[in-house]
Amino acid sequence: MPRTVVTGGAGFLGSHLCDHMLANGHEVICVDNLLTGRLANIEHLSDNPNFSFLKQNVSEYILVKGPVDNILHFASPASPIDYLKLPIQTLKVGSLGTHNALGLAKAKKAKFLLASTSEVYGDPAIHPQKEDYWGNVNPIGPRGVYDEAKRFAEAITMAYHRTHNIETRIVRIFNTFGPRMRVDDGRALPNFLSQMLKEEDITVFGKGSQTRSFCFVSDLVAGIYKLLISDEDEPVNIGNPDEISILDFAKELKALTNSKSKIINQELPIDDPQVRRPDITKAQQKLGWEPKVNRKDGLLKTIEYFKNELNIQ
């Protein structure tokens, strides 16, 4: 049975990955310091003999006993509100945390998969974003703490690959949604849904003409698994290319929730990317992967989860 470490395994994506790896016959060791992750996300796994949880901060030394075959490095604050509140921790986990996770991969001769992000493209001047685009990032802006940490993480991952022959994978994750998102994580979808379900005003930042492309979590996790078992060392975009403006997204959610809330405009955050859509040609060709769940079906499942979390019938 392969042994797989998931750092950030108690987070939104990490916990879905833990489920997916267990379902594919892996033993899973979830490492998380619960800074933005939650035990509630992995509670259902507590009786599974193939699952264990280690409360550790990966920015310090990571201690995992016994052999390890795969390390999926997902630990990091990931929503803009979180990394604006936790700038130093975000920089540390992307740099020191990635260094430690790579050190663990080297010591255990394990395969290493880095959770990178569409944020490496910054506010992109090329649209849609292809893996060979180097990006447009403001290193000293408020988002720089996340973007540059992840860019460093990609750089050190490739350096370990080239210097120490570690088998590495880099997934550039685009906006993803689904059950287990934190209702208060500050992202567009959790904010909009909480506001609609509580009949509060819906806060669209700027005019809402900026675009995003939202992928349902089950598709994302399936793509990551395909990348892990592929032999592609260089970055691969995983996301859903179905692009929508934030204003239209708010309207779509309002219709799906039958909400009476009013859309109001608030100031656009600094360096907010104006467009974002993955070019997934590489994932299609090299992994045979593409998303299957359309946004509306994914949103209906997510709305049920949010109603439950907020105790709304």
- Could you list the residues that contact ligand UDP (CB under 6 A)? 79-80, 175, 187-188, 191, 203-205, 210, 212, 246, 269, 272
> Which tokens sit at 17?
């990955």
200 class by beta-carbon count within 10 Å (0-12 exposed, 13-18 middle, 19+ buried): middle
Q: Judge contact between 28 and 21, C-beta under 8 A.
A: yes
In angstroms, the CA 115 to CA 236 distance is 10
- 128 and 107 Cβ atoms separated by less than 8 Å: no
**Strand (E) or helix (H) holding 211:** strand 211-213
Considering the complex, state which of residue 33 and residue 191 has its C-beta at the smaller distance from ligand UDP: 191
Quickly tell me which residue has 């796994």 as its tokens: 45
- Minimum Å distance from CB 193 to ligand UDP? 10
Q: For ligand UDP, which is the closer residue by CB, 137 or 204?
A: 204
- For residue 295, the minimal CB distance to ligand UDP (Å) is 14
Enzyme catalytic residues: 146
- Looking at the Cβ atoms of 70 and 176, the one nearer to ligand UDP is 176
Closest CB to ligand UDP among 78 and 101? 78
CB of residue 161 vs ligand UDP: minimum separation in angstroms?
27
Across the beta sheet with 236-238, the strand order is: 51-55, 27-32, 3-7, 70-73, 111-117, 168-173, 236-238
Residue 214 Cβ vs ligand UDP, minimum distance, rounded to whole Å? 9
Q: Which of 281, 287, 177 is nearest to 228 (CA)?
A: 287
What's the rounded Cα separation, in Å, for the pair 245 and 268? Answer: 14
- Minimum Å gap between C-beta 126 and ligand UDP is 17
Nearer to ligand UDP, 36 or 191 (CB): 191
Sign of CA dihedral 27, 32, 38, 43: positive
Q: At what angle are helices 188-197 and 246-257 packed, to 10 degrees? A: 40
